[in-house]
Amino acid sequence: MGGCTDKDKQIRFDGQHFRTKAKAVDRKVSVAEFTVEIKNASRSLKGARAAGGYAGTRYCVTQYGSSRIDWAIGPETAPEMLVLDRDTLTFRGTCLKP
C-alpha cells in the first residue's frame, strides 16, 4: 500500500489529488446503486468531477466487471445540478451489467 501514502504516485486530476469514497446506497438491496463522495472539491471542480468519474468506474469494475454507468448525478451533470456540501461533491449512479 505504499502508493497510498507516496504523493508522487497518487493519481491527480487537473493537478490535484482528491480523496474519494464509492459505496453502495443500500447493500441489502443491491450494490449496483452507488454514491461517490469527492472531498475538497473546491480545489478544482473540473478535477473533482474527473476523480469522481474515475472512482465510480473503479467501483463498477470491481462490483460488476463493467465500466458502464448510468449516472443520475455524475461527471457530465450540469454544474448547477451538482450536489456540493461542506466542500464534498457527491455523485450518484447505477452500475450496468456488461
pTM: 0.85
Q: How many other CB atoms are there within 10 angstroms of residue 97's CB atom? A: 9
Distance CA(33)–CA(30), nearest Å, equals 7
Q: Give the pLDDT confidence score for residue 38 in this predicted structure.
A: 97
Per residue in 38-87, pLDDT (tens digit) is: 999 999 999 999 999 999 999 999 998 999 999 999 999 999 999 899 99
**Those residues with Cβ within 8 angstroms of residue 73's Cβ, 6 or more apart along the chain or in another chain:** 81, 82, 83, 90, 91, 92, 93
Which residues make beta-bridge pairs with 84?
89
Q: Give the pLDDT confidence score for residue 14 in this predicted structure.
A: 78
Amino acid at 89: L
Distance CA(10)–CA(12), nearest Å, equals 6
